[in-house]
Structure 1
Amino acid sequence: MVLDLLLIGLAVTLFPLPIMAFVLVVSGSRGVRNGLAFIFAWLACLVTVMALVLLLTGGQPPPPRSPPSIGALVATLVIGLGLVVYSEHRRRRSRRTATGAGAAAPVAVEGDAVEGDAAAPEAASASGSSVTSRMDEATGWSAAGLAVLLQPWGMVSAAAATVVQADLSHPQSFLALMAFCVLATSTLLAMELYMVFSPRKAQSVLLGLRGWLERHKDPAIVVTCLLLGLWLVARSLYQLTGTG
C-alpha cells in the first residue's frame, strides 16, 4: 500500500494541468492569497476522499479474498486500464493535432516569414497579458473551485481504492496517508513558497514553466498516465491472481 500511495502521489503532483492553472492563479494581483485557497481546496479534496474510505472500512483492511478486498482490487484494475486508455487517446489526439497543424501551415515567402517570426512573440505576450489580467479579477472562491475541477480524479480514485487496505492500528498507515497528501501537494506548495519569498523572480520563472508545459503537456500527460496505469494494472492483477 505504501509504495502504491507514493507512486500515485508522485503522479498527482507532476500532472501538468493543475500546475499550469496554479501558475496563473499565483500570477494575479492577489496571487499568494488565491494560491493558498487553491492549495487548501486541493488538500481538502484529498483528505475528504481518504477520510470517507477510512470511515467505510473502520480503519481496518478487509480480509483477503473477501468481497470488499476483491472489489477494491477490481476498482484499481479498472482505473489502471482507464488511465492506459486515456493516455493512448491523448497520444492519438496530440498526433492528429500536430499533423493537422503541419498540413494547414501556409507556405510563406521569406519576407512574410520574418514578419511572422517577429510578430509571434508579441502575440504570445498579448495573450499572456490578457490571461493574467483576467486572473487579477479572480477570487479565493474561484481559485478553490478551480482546484476541485482540476484535481486528477482518476488518480485520486486509485489512491482511494488503495487506502481500503490501510490499517490505522499501525502508525505506518498514518505516515503513508500523510506522505501521500504532502507529496500530492508538494509542487503547489513549492510554487506558493517561491512566490512568498521571491515574488518577482518567481512570477517570471513560473510563467516560463507554464509556457514550457503548454508546449509539452501532452507528452507529459501520456507518460504519466501510461506508467501509473500500467503499474496499477500489474499490481491489481498480481494481487487478484496471486493470493488465496
Structure 2
Amino acid sequence: MGQVLGDVLGFAAAVAVSPLPIVAMILVLATPRGRRNGLLFAAGWVLGLSALGAIVLAIAGPGGASSKSQPATWVGGLKLALGLLLALFGLRMWRRRPKDASQAQLPKWMSTIDRLAPLKVFGLAVALAALNAKNAPLTIAAAASIASAGLPVGQQIASLAIFVLIGSLGLLAPLGVFLIGGDRAKTTLGNWKQWAAQHNIAVMAVLFFVLGLKLIGDGIGILTS
C-alpha cells in the first residue's frame, strides 16, 4: 500500500493546489450565507472526487487492472494517454498565459457564484471535482494506480480516501480560516484569491506538464515490462 500512496500523493497534491476551485470556495464564503454554502461546497467537492475515483475502481477491478500484482497492459496505455493529454494541456496553458499576471481574468461563470442557490453551489463543487478537464484525468490516473496494485478492497478504499483527503486540502484551508476567523479572515482570503487568480494558469501549466511526463514514463514502463 505504501508504494501506491507514493504514486497517488502527487496526483492528490496537484488536485489540492488547483487555484480556480480555491478561488471559487473563497467567493462562496463571501456570499451572505457563506458558512453554509462553504460547507456545501466542500461536501460537493469531496463527493465528486470520491464518486469519480470509486467509478474507476469499480470498472478497473473487474477489468483486470492487476495481473499477478503487476499493472495490466491496458493500465499502461491509459496512463500513457492521460500523460500525453496532461503534458499537451500544460504546454497549451503555458503558451496562453498572460504576459502580465495582473491582467489575468477569472472565468465569467465565477461572477454568478453569489447568486447561486445552495443546491447549485453543491452541484458546482461536484462538477469542478469530477467533471473538470483538469482534475478528472488526475483522479482517473490515481484510481487506476490504486486498482492496478492488486490491493485488497479495504486497502483500495483507504487509498482512495487518502487521495480525496489530500486533494481536498486546498479547499478546506480557506474554509477553516473562515470558520475560525470569521470576518477577520476576509483580508487573508482576499489576498489568497488575488494570488490564485493571477497565477492560476502558470501554476496549473507547470503541474500538468510535470505530472504528464510522470504518467508518460509510468505508462511506457508498464507497456515495456
TM-score range normalised by the length of the shorter chain: 0.7 to 0.9
SS at match of 1:198: helix
Matched, 1:47 2:50: yes
Residue in 2 aligned with 1:122?
A: none
Matched, 1:12 2:41: no
Residue in 1 aligned with 2:88?
A: 85
**Structure 2 CA distance for aligned equivalents of residues 2 and 199 of structure 1:** 35
Residue correspondence of structure 1 range 82-231 to structure 2 within 5 A: 82-94=85-97, 97-98=98-99, 135-151=113-129, 152-169=135-152, 172-231=155-214
Larger radius of gyration: 1
Amino acid at match of 1:35: G
Tell me: CA distance 1:136–1:17, structure 2 relative to 1, closer, same or farther (3 Å).
closer
**Structure 2 CA distance for aligned equivalents of residues 229 and 182 of structure 1:** 22
Taking only the aligned residue pairs, the percentage that are identical comes to 29
Tell me: CA distance 1:60–1:193, structure 2 relative to 1, closer, same or farther (3 Å).
farther
Render the CA deviation track for 1:209-237: whole Å, top value 9, x for unaligned: 11111211121011111111111111221
Amino acid at match of 1:48: A
Displacement, 1:239?
2.1
SS at match of 1:155: helix
Matched, 1:23 2:26: yes
**Structure 2 CA distance for aligned equivalents of residues 89 and 61 of structure 1:** 31
42-51 or 204-213, which deviates more:
42-51
Amino acid at match of 2:195: W
Tell me: CA distance 1:60–1:176, structure 2 relative to 1, closer, same or farther (3 Å).
farther
Amino acid at match of 1:12: V
Residue in 1 aligned with 2:67?
A: 63
- For these two proteins, the number of residue pairs brought into alignment is 211
**Structure 1 CA distance for aligned equivalents of residues 113 and 128 of structure 2:** 16
Matched, 1:2 2:37: no
Gaps of 5+ in 2: 104-109, 130-134
Q: Is the 8 A contact 1:72 1:164 kept in 2?
A: no
**Structure 2 CA distance for aligned equivalents of residues 93 and 135 of structure 1:** 25
Displacement, 1:60?
7.7
Displacement, 1:31?
1.1
Tell me: CA distance 1:228–1:2, structure 2 relative to 1, closer, same or farther (3 Å).
same
Q: Is the 8 A contact 1:18 1:150 kept in 2?
A: yes
Matched, 1:33 2:36: yes
Q: Is the 8 A contact 1:8 1:159 kept in 2?
A: yes
**Structure 2 CA distance for aligned equivalents of residues 74 and 61 of structure 1:** 11
Q: Is the 8 A contact 2:40 2:121 kept in 1?
A: yes
Render the CA deviation track for 1:82-141: whole Å, top value 9, x for unaligned: 1110111111112xx438x99xxxxxxxxxxxxxxxxxxxxxxxxxxxx78x54433221
Q: Is the 8 A contact 1:22 1:188 kept in 2?
A: yes
Gaps of 5+ in 1: 103-130
SS at match of 1:43: helix
